[in-house]
C-alpha cells in the first residue's frame, strides 16, 4: 500500500506530474532524459511514470532522475510512498524553503511569485468584516 504524500513535498502534484513538470522546466525531451541517464531510465518507462501508469518506480530510477534533475531524492522517495516524514502541524511554518526552487525560476519569475503571494495574503478573505 502506498503511503500518503507528506506535507514536506514541494509539490501537491502526483509524482508523475511532478517529474513531468521538472523535465519540462529543464527543457528536456523523454529521449534526452534516456540519453542523459545512459538508458538507466528509458523514455517509454519515464512516459509511463509521468502519465501515472507507474505510480511507484524503483528507488534506482528515482535516484537517477533526482541526480539528473538536481532535485531532492528523499522527496521523490516520499512522493513514491517508500518513506514517510514527520508531518508538520498546521500552525508550524516551514521556514525559508523555496517552494519553486526545483523549477529554476528566473529572477523576474521569482519576483512575480513574491508579488502574487503578497497579493494573496493581503486580499480580503470571504467573510471578513471591515
In a domain, 54, yes or no: yes
Q: What is the pLDDT of residues 65-113, one digit of tens each?
A: 999 999 999 999 999 998 876 555 555 554 444 556 666 667 777 777 7
Higher pLDDT, 7 or 70: 70
In a domain, 21, yes or no: yes
- pLDDT, residue 95, reads 47
Long-range contacts of 31-35 (CB under 8 A, 24+ apart): 33/65, 33/68
**pTM strictly above 0.75:** no
List, in order, residues 6 or more apart from 70 with CB less than 8 Å away.
102
Tell me the average pLDDT across 16-32. Answer: 94
In a domain, 67, yes or no: yes
In a domain, 120, yes or no: no
- pLDDT, residue 8, reads 39
Taking residue 19's Cβ as centre, other Cβ atoms within 10 Å add up to: 25
In a domain, 68, yes or no: yes
Higher pLDDT, 92 or 58: 58
What is the total count of domains within the chain? 1
In a domain, 111, yes or no: no
- pLDDT, residue 104, reads 67
- pLDDT, residue 96, reads 45
Long-range contacts of 6-12 (CB under 8 A, 24+ apart): 6/78, 6/84, 6/85, 6/87, 7/87, 7/88, 8/75, 8/78, 8/85, 8/87, 8/88, 8/94, 9/75, 9/78, 9/79, 10/72, 10/75, 10/97, 10/99, 10/100, 10/101, 10/102, 11/79
CATH number at residue 62: 1.10.260.40
d(CA 125, CA 112): 21
In a domain, 66, yes or no: yes
Tell me the average pLDDT across 40-55. Answer: 95
Domain residue limits at 33: 15-79
Query: How is residue 89 annotated by DSSP?
Result: P
- pLDDT, residue 40, reads 94
Name the band, by pLDDT with cuts 50, 70 and 90, for residue 1: very low
* Cell, residue 32: 534526452
Amino acid at each position: 500500500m502506498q503511503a500518503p504524500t507528506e506535507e514536506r513535498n514541494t509539490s501537491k502534484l502526483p509524482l508523475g506530474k511532478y517529474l513531468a513538470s521538472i523535465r519540462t522546466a529543464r527543457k528536456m525531451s523523454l529521449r534526452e532524459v534516456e540519453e542523459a541517464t545512459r538508458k538507466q531510465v528509458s523514455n517509454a518507462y519515464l512516459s509511463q511514470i509521468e502519465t501515472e501508469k507507474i505510480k511507484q518506480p524503483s528507488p534506482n530510477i528515482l535516484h537517477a532522475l533526482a541526480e539528473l534533475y538536481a532535485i531532492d531524492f528523499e522527496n521523490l522517495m516520499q512522493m513514491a510512498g517508500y518513506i514517510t516524514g514527520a508531518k508538520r502541524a498546521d500552525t508550524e511554518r516551514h521556514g525559508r524553503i523555496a517552494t519553486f526552487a526545483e523549477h529554476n525560476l528566473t529572477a523576474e519569475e521569482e519576483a512575480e511569485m513574491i508579488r502574487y503571494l503578497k497579493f494573496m495574503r493581503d486580499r480580503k478573505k470571504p467573510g471578513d468584516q471591515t
